[in-house]
Amino acid sequence: MDVPADVRRKDPSALGFGTRALGACLADLAVLIAALLVAGHLRHTLPFGTTLGADDRWPGPLAYLILALALTATCPLRLVAEPAPSVRSARRFWAPVGAVALAALGLAALRPGQPRLHTAYFVVVAVGLLVLTVPWPTSKEDADERPGLGANLARLWANRALLRIWVGYNVRSRYSETILGVLWIALLPLATALVMSIVFSRIMRVPVGGVPFTAFLLAGIVPWGLFNQAIAGGMRSILGAMGLINQINFPREILVLSALGEALVDAGLMFLAMVIVNAALGVWPNPLYVALPLLVAIQVAFTLGLMLVVSWLSVLVRDVPQLVSVLLQLTFYLSAVIYPASIVPERFRLLLTLNPMAVLIEAYRDVIVYARPPDWAALLYPAALAVGVLVFGYRLFKAHEDTLADLV
């Protein structure tokens, strides 16, 4: 039976799809701009191709114009409403891929003298971000039965009180039977920092630019401790709550978020202890501390994305916790926690450039110890990667949430 035109205009699903299409176009634009900025920074820092000077501006204004034209050409694909959700999902993935291809062709055609390596950087970064942030085509059954990202976030927000109670109970229960209580949160890392300071400043004499080595070390240990504790807690979060998962219906990501909340509480107390120790050493808080919330937000987004992935993998494959523990130890030494990045030989600098934790720790040190602004261009890479990993991890976790009870 034909549906009258006025009824079709009032169809909320059709109106909703138009809104989603517009939002998807804006998301495509954000991904492409982020890819240009990140690719431009990596092109200047990675040791591939000819060395660029400080005056070499890439990407230039023409690159953004080409992006806008590419997006204009591909956005109409999102405005073609189809009844099958799986068709919309397919277009949702391939439309931005087409935008990347058109932008790359435009860069090559309108700037023939530009090195192809510029375009290659952009394509690699853009495709990598799209794989993380844009959902792959799904079957109609999955699209019909699985709630969307907005519905999942709304349900999570409705259960925020449960998360708050859970985090408070877990933090109190860890130290309820101890004499010093929560002071252990700061005493253990401080003791580790003291031992390392003696070894690296007195024996190995690592140069840190004229600042107290203890202050230099604490500025790396505090963010690393947050990352390490959160990942380790994420691996245990699902396996340690098997009874709850089998008996109570609640958003399972709350278990992962509670582990992150505990790590944030510990990191906050450790930060206060670091500020006190630094002040005793003559390194006082400075106005640039206003940049710290941004650094913490980038790190939390990146860490939470990884936690969601490893929490599911730990249930699927029981060898994952042991493997991740080894990778964490390796990453610790590749993140410039106990040494400055400036002493790393040029041939190994690539490992630090591509390690988002190394970039973030350098930014923390710039603000806390050296009282100078962080390298904002360098932060583009971990920021874009953090958003991509968070979106990918959350979608992966929610896609397999219903199977957790069977696996545990």
**Model confidence over 219-276: pLDDT tens digits?**
999 999 999 999 999 888 888 777 777 777 788 889 899 999 999 998 998 899 899 8
pLDDT at residue 247 in the model:
77
Whole-number mean pLDDT of the chain?
79
pLDDT of 168 strictly over 70:
yes
Q: What pLDDT, on a 0 to 100 scale, did the predictor assign at position 228? A: 94
CA angle 52, 57, 59 (to 5 degrees): 110
Place of tokens 């790590």: 263
Amino acid at 229: Q
pTM as predicted = 0.85
* Element spanning 27, H or E: helix 12-45
For the chain, the 3-state helix, strand and coil shares in percent, each to the nearest 5, are 75, 0, 25
pLDDT of residue 127: 87
Q: Residue 123 contacts by C-beta under 8 Å, 6 or more apart in sequence?
A: 100, 104
pLDDT for the residue 385: 94
* Average confidence (pLDDT) over 171-186: 68
Q: Is the pLDDT of residue 297 over 90?
A: yes
Q: According to the model, what pLDDT value does residue 48 have?
A: 74
- The model's pLDDT over 32-86, given as tens digits with 9 standing for 90+, comes to 888 888 888 888 887 776 666 555 566 676 677 777 777 776 677 666 544 444 4
Residue 363 banded pLDDT, cuts 50, 70, 90 = very high
- At 383, list the tokens: 């920021």
Name, in order, each residue with C-beta under 8 angstroms of 366's C-beta and a sequence gap of 6 or more.
Answer: 372, 373, 374, 375
| For residues 357-366, average pLDDT | 95
Q: Residue 2 phi/psi, 5° resolution?
A: -75, 140
pLDDT grade for 6, boundaries at 50, 70 and 90: very low
Q: Measured between alpha carbons, how far is 48 from 348 in angstroms, rounded to an integer?
A: 13
pLDDT attached to residue 8: 43
* Integer angstrom CA distances of residue 69 from 18, 22, 63, 78, 112: 21, 16, 10, 16, 18
